């Protein structure tokens, strides 16, 4: 009789599982908490089947969005690296997140050797790369010296876009796109663009009266005003010149569409549980990664 006991126990276990499944109940499989609750990682941000990228690059000089500190050559700080690190952690992926000069980042992206985070989706870029859903929204503003005439409206009386910029000498960052509309206005000569190596350089030129103004991201202008001591020297126009979403992008031939969709799901989960807002707030305060 006892010889049949193990078989009877096994049969009983199988019948129990079938009964539970038929009733629509959930068994406490490994990965569930003791109380049967699902693990912290959302089922919507499951790890993609494709291989993760070896590197994702960020601008090394665009605070507070992405930057590196002196002495931290390989550590990317700021809003975009922190959001990306958390999303990849939720996906169970290990990927190098590196700060690098923007021109080099774009060259690596175009060659398919790395992804880039913090990218605007222009018409030309959409032909070459796959993009995530918007990760963040940058607002590009006109920054002018204190005491300058601030345009009340950007469009002229005939509806001409960005008419208020006509004839102005404006600082831009070398190698950057400012979105299709501003790029087209620059090409058409709607304003005179003077290139510099960073937004900080342009802010200092505006404060010193060497430029009529500069096109700078809103959070970047606020960050630099405080840290460069320019609060009383420059003013940010209240109306944005453009509102542009930024994305994580890969060269299309890299075949990372599945990863991008999983990344989107992880970001949605982060927004829902409050993690996204906490990361952004910490980064704006300069406390990211600490």
User: What's the token pair of residue 239?
Assistant: 């109306």
Q: Concatenated DSSP letters for 55-79?
A: EEEEESEETTTEE--TT-TT--BSH
The predicted pLDDT at position 51 comes to: 66
Q: How is residue 113 annotated by DSSP? A: S
Topology (CATH level 3) of domain 44-137+245-284: D-Maltodextrin-Binding Protein; domain 2 (3.40.190)
Give the chain's mean pLDDT.
Answer: 83
Sign of the C-alpha dihedral computed for residues 166, 169, 171 and 176 taken in this order: positive
pTM, two decimals, is 0.78
pLDDT in tens, 208-238: 999 999 999 999 999 999 999 999 999 998 8
Q: Residue 243: its pLDDT value, please?
A: 93
User: Residue 133's pLDDT is what?
Assistant: 98
Q: Any idea which of 74-88, 160-174, 271-285 has the lowest mean pLDDT?
A: 160-174
Q: Is pLDDT of 21 > 90? A: no
Averaged pLDDT, 11-20:
46
179 Cβ neighbours under 8 A, 6+ residues apart: 120, 122, 140, 242, 244
Which DSSP category does 77 fall into?
A: B
Percentage of the chain modeled with pLDDT above 90: 66
Pair 233, 145: CB distance under 8 Å? yes
Q: Which residue has the tokens 């950007």?
A: 154
Q: Give pLDDT, residue 266.
A: 98
pLDDT at 163: 78
More confident call, 154 vs 24: 154
Q: What is the pLDDT of residues 171-199, one digit of tens each?
A: 999 999 999 989 999 999 989 999 999 99
CA dist., res. 241 & res. 155, Å (int): 10
CATH class of 139-244: alpha beta
Q: Is the pLDDT of residue 39 over 60?
A: no
Q: Would you list the domain boundaries of the chain?
A: 44-137+245-284, 139-244
Q: What local confidence, expressed as pLDDT, does residue 30 receive?
A: 32
Segment 85-89 mean pLDDT: 97
Domain 44-137+245-284 and domain 139-244, same fold? Reply is yes
Which pLDDT belongs to residue 18? 44
Q: What is the mean pLDDT of residues 263-280?
A: 98
Vertex 21: Cα angle to 18 and 25 (nearest 5): 140
Q: Report the pLDDT averaged over residues 82-92.
A: 96
Q: What is residue 35's predicted lDDT score, i.e. its pLDDT?
A: 36
For residue 2, the model assigns a pLDDT of 41
- Residue 22, pLDDT score: 45
């Amino acid at each position: 009789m006892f010889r049949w006991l193990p078989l009877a126990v096994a049969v009983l276990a199988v019948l129990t599982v079938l009964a539970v499944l038929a009733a629509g109940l959930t068994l406490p499989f490994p990965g569930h908490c003791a109380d049967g609750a699902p693990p912290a990682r959302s089922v919507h941000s499951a790890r993609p089947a494709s291989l993760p990228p070896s590197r994702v690059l960020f601008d090394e000089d665009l605070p507070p969005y992405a930057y590196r500190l002196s002495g931290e050559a390989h550590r990317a700080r700021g809003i975009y690296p922190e959001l990306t690190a958390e999303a990849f952690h939720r996906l169970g992926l290990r990927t190098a997140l590196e700060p690098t000069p923007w021109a080099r980042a774009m060259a690596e992206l175009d060659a398919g050797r790395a992804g880039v985070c913090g990218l605007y989706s222009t018409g030309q870029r959409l032909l070459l790369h796959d993009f995530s859903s918007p990760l963040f929204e940058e607002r590009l503003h006109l920054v002018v010296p204190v005491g300058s005439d601030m345009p009340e409206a950007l469009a002229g009386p005939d509806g001409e876009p960005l008419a208020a910029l006509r004839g102005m000498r404006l600082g831009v960052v070398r190698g950057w796109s400012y979105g299709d509309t501003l790029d087209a206005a620059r090409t058409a000569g709607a304003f005179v663009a003077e290139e510099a190596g960073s937004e900080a350089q342009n802010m200092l030129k505006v404060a010193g009266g060497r430029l009529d103004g500069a096109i700078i991201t809103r959070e970047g202008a606020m960050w630099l005003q405080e840290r460069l001591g320019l609060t009383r020297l420059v003013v940010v126009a209240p109306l944005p010149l453009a509102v542009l979403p930024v994305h994580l992008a890969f060269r299309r031939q890299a075949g990372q569409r599945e990863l991008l969709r999983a990344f989107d799901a992880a970001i949605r989960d982060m927004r829902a549980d409050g993690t996204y807002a906490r990361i952004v707030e910490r980064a704006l305060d300069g406390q990211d990664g600490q």
